[in-house]
Structure 1
Amino acid sequence: MAGGGSFLVALLRRGAPAIATATSELPDEIADPAPMHALRRISRMSGPIDPTERDGLLLRATRYVVLIPLAYRLLAVPGQFGVYVLQHGTAGLLPVGVFTLLSVALNVIGLRWMFRSAPFRGRDAGKLLAVDLAFTVLSPLLVALTVPSPVYFDALAVTSVHLYGEIGLLTLALGLPSGVVFGLLSFPLRMLANWLNTGRFLAGAAFSTYSVLLAELFLATAALVLTGLGTRLALAYGTRNGRLAERAQQHRRLHDTVLQTLEAMALSAPGNAEERLVEIQRLARAQAMEIRHTIESAASERAEAGARPLGEKLAALAAEMARDGLRAQLVVAELDDDTLSEVRQIAIRDAVREAMRNTMKHSGTDRVVVRVEERDGGIAVITRDHGSGFSAADHPAGFGISESITARLAEVGGTSLVESGLAGGGTRVTLWVPF
């Protein structure tokens, strides 16, 4: 680990940008589903990080936490201005109204800039933050110089709402030290505004706002910590679940390729030893070619598959199975090529492949019918053979059915139903995925 340091310390010191390091040094214990004391899990989430690892997407996305103080000021400043108007009418209305309009304009600009689709640039964000900070510092002084003394404190209350939002903005964007420093500087700023309007510093009146400042500082810090630790926990769970999904996918791939080939090699077949050796060599060569193609051309294979609709995928599958001796009759209803997402098409294709291989191995027939139709707000694919079938009681579902068919469909929101011992014999596998 280069450098080092605590994630929580980095978060408090640097603000939301520190969340960009949340992907580094994630211990497996964070995402352990076993019950764990809350403080222990928080301690693990707050643990060491590598500050040199920075995720660009997280860096851009987590800065949007500053939308909270921007939205707060956009609503609270006009609300406080409305209270001022109800209390004092037109007295001091112009300077307070101008301040309110400028505050609203700054927050709208900030919100629009954060929501824009252009790449996030830290330098531009720094300029906007500097302009906002200058406005926050100067506005109470200008209001103090322009409003009558009888309405001064209520007018200052309108600017104070903007100042409270600035505390949250700085804490979230730059870290807790920036928020604390600005909070401390707001005390002499408030006293200077009092002196400009009343001729007295009125330290007690200036200090009275500190309870609200402390509350804003606490809330901003809590939002920062919860966002940071929540992001790190979510990343840990996502990493763990991704590993489990990848492992399941690898197991399915091994089952659907290598294991199937090894079982085919182990099956007894007529012919002398030399003929059997030639057949085994053919199967091994074909399997080696398939694995090599999967490893070296996975990306191009997905791109080619993405260019073909489901019907063509299943037709290619039928041709593939024909080379192994299974004749498939494909019946496809008229479907919109864009109806089904690519990931669901591939899940259907691979589940149908497993169903066909089960037919070859267990049914005692070399014929199968594959029918594709729209049903119940989705696409149904039914494979049906008229072989010997099986008894669910005598032959419970194995890995092929539970993982290569059922689990694969469940991952894309679909369902599967395997029926055997039907009238007329054979087995029917019904696969369904939603649009």
Structure 2
Amino acid sequence: MAAQTSEGRTASFLVTLLRRGTPALATATTGLTDEIADPTPVRALQRISRMAGPVDARYNDGLLLRAARYVVLVPLAYRIVAVPGAFGAFVVAHGAQGALPVGLVALCSMAMSAFGMFWMLRRAPFRSGQAARLLIVDLVITVVFQLVIGLSVPSAVFHDALGVAEKHLLGDIALLTLAVGIPAGIGLAVLSLPVRLLSDWLNSGSADFTQAWSIYPTMFGVLFTGIGGLILVGLGTRLALAYGIRNGRLAERAQQHRMLHDTVLQTLEAISLGGAGDSRERLVEVQRLARAQAMELRQTIETAAAQRAEEGSRPLGEKLAALAAEMARDGLRAQLVISELDDDTLSEVRQIAIRDAVREALRNTMKHAGTDKVVVRVEERDGGIAVITRDHGTGFSTETRPAGFGISESITARLAEVGGTSLVESTPGNGTRVTLWVPF
């Protein structure tokens, strides 16, 4: 167990999980380190020890807390299946003898479990206080079932009848282990022994300790299964969160690199290329580019969300038309040819990926093709949208000139993130064709 901090908040995630049950998943996002999600192969126990490392035991992630509650659906579903199955076996073995009280126990058990599943799946906000009260009611009913059978069924069928109530008991042990933690599950298992002895005494006037103890191997199996499930769900969730955070950081870093490449770097390269005119005219041009770039960066930083909302109302055709107008201001004439498209077939994320990849392809044309004309064709193809940019510039050899950052990241990687592909075809003297495709 990790040493506590001065605030007394740091605790081992595994210990917290075993003590508190699935609600401890609400702490899983704290204390995550890059070592947990490091893809470098390590020993299994070393990986597990990292996942079981320290967390802030006082932190509660509301979303994880709500998601964790669904784990208890498993023991509830078990009771809905196992209790009527045990009752059916009882009726087959003993007929109508004791069937009425045992049937009522089975019916009440199924109703309680069904209500529990409904309560967990309903759309109302999750209330931990209400959940605690329901668990207490379920615990009381578990005890009552055994006492009712002890009082109401003939001694000849008592042990088989009690097997129906014990199915409910086993499900309750698993439920408490997952929902509250191992101490609660063990506590119910211990409590069940005197309850069973009392039920036996109410039925026959004597208590058979050996018979009462016979269910404990099954109880230990249920506890072991519940603990194993708890550990697998807890550590698996924490590993998944660590990988998600790591991949999110990498994706954010790649997006930032693409933004710098597609904005600042493009402007610096345009400045470095120079141009005709005296030094004063060149200085004015550099100032114009710097001012425009500063305005674009400010908009990107301060109004990114507003821009995405505005873009969301524009179909792909309008996005590309706006891009063509943007390129025209920089001296590239882009002829846009668009087939009839259904704007609702392509998600906004994929439309933006296509637009930004086309922007990079057009900027490459401006910098390297030696022409100010390009054709951009948009069409449906192979269950998706294809955008082809074609110029008749100088071209290049794809064998001798490897793909740079613009092609590999601003085009290929950007489309790969949304399930798309890109193909660059070029030969010296014959221009360049870039084919971009994303699925519907």
| TM > 0.5 fold call | yes
Amino acid in structure 2 at the alignment position of 1:9: V
Match runs of 1:22-421 below 5 Å: 22-421=28-427
Q: Which runs of 5+ in 2 are unaligned?
A: none
The 3-state SS of whatever aligns with 1:416 is strand
Q: What CA distance in whole angstroms lies between the structure 1 residues aligned with 2:13 and 2:400?
A: 55
Cα RMSD for the two superposed structures: 1.1
* Alignment match, 1:432: 437
The 3-state SS of whatever aligns with 1:266 is helix
Pick which of 350-359 and 386-395 moved more. 386-395
Shift of 1:127: 2.2
String of CA shifts for 1:145-164, please: whole Å, max 9, x gaps: 11111111000001101000
Q: What CA distance in whole angstroms lies between the structure 2 residues aligned with 1:434 and 1:124?
A: 46
Q: What CA distance in whole angstroms lies between the structure 2 residues aligned with 1:296 and 1:412?
A: 25
String of CA shifts for 1:179-236, please: whole Å, max 9, x gaps: 1111101000000000011111111111111111111111111111111111111111
Amino acid in structure 1 at the alignment position of 2:35: E
Amino acid in structure 2 at the alignment position of 1:433: V
The 3-state SS of whatever aligns with 2:343 is coil
Q: Give the TM-score taking structure 1 as reference length.
A: 0.98
Amino acid in structure 2 at the alignment position of 1:70: L
The 3-state SS of whatever aligns with 1:238 is helix
String of CA shifts for 1:48-77, please: whole Å, max 9, x gaps: 111232110000001111111111111111
Amino acid in structure 1 at the alignment position of 2:33: P
String of CA shifts for 1:377-428, please: whole Å, max 9, x gaps: 1111111111111111232111100111011101100011111129x82111
Q: What CA distance in whole angstroms lies between the structure 2 residues aligned with 1:426 and 1:281?
A: 32
Shift of 1:16: 0.7
Amino acid in structure 2 at the alignment position of 1:30: I
Amino acid in structure 2 at the alignment position of 1:344: R
Amino acid in structure 1 at the alignment position of 2:122: R
Shift of 1:117: 2.0
Q: What CA distance in whole angstroms lies between the structure 2 residues aligned with 1:285 and 1:53?
A: 46
Q: What CA distance in whole angstroms lies between the structure 2 residues aligned with 1:53 and 1:97?
A: 45
Amino acid in structure 1 at the alignment position of 2:395: G
Amino acid in structure 2 at the alignment position of 1:357: R
Q: What CA distance in whole angstroms lies between the structure 1 residues aligned with 2:259 and 2:31?
A: 30
String of CA shifts for 1:243-269, please: whole Å, max 9, x gaps: 111111111111111111110000021
- Identity across aligned pairs (percent)? 68
Q: What CA distance in whole angstroms lies between the structure 1 residues aligned with 2:142 and 2:149?
A: 11
Q: What CA distance in whole angstroms lies between the structure 1 residues aligned with 2:399 and 2:36?
A: 41
The 3-state SS of whatever aligns with 1:29 is coil
Q: What CA distance in whole angstroms lies between the structure 1 residues aligned with 2:375 and 2:145?
A: 78
The 3-state SS of whatever aligns with 1:42 is helix
Which 4+ stretches in 1 moved above 3 angstroms? none
Asked whether the equivalents of residues 398 and 427 of structure 2 are also in contact (C-alpha less than 8 Å), the reply is: no
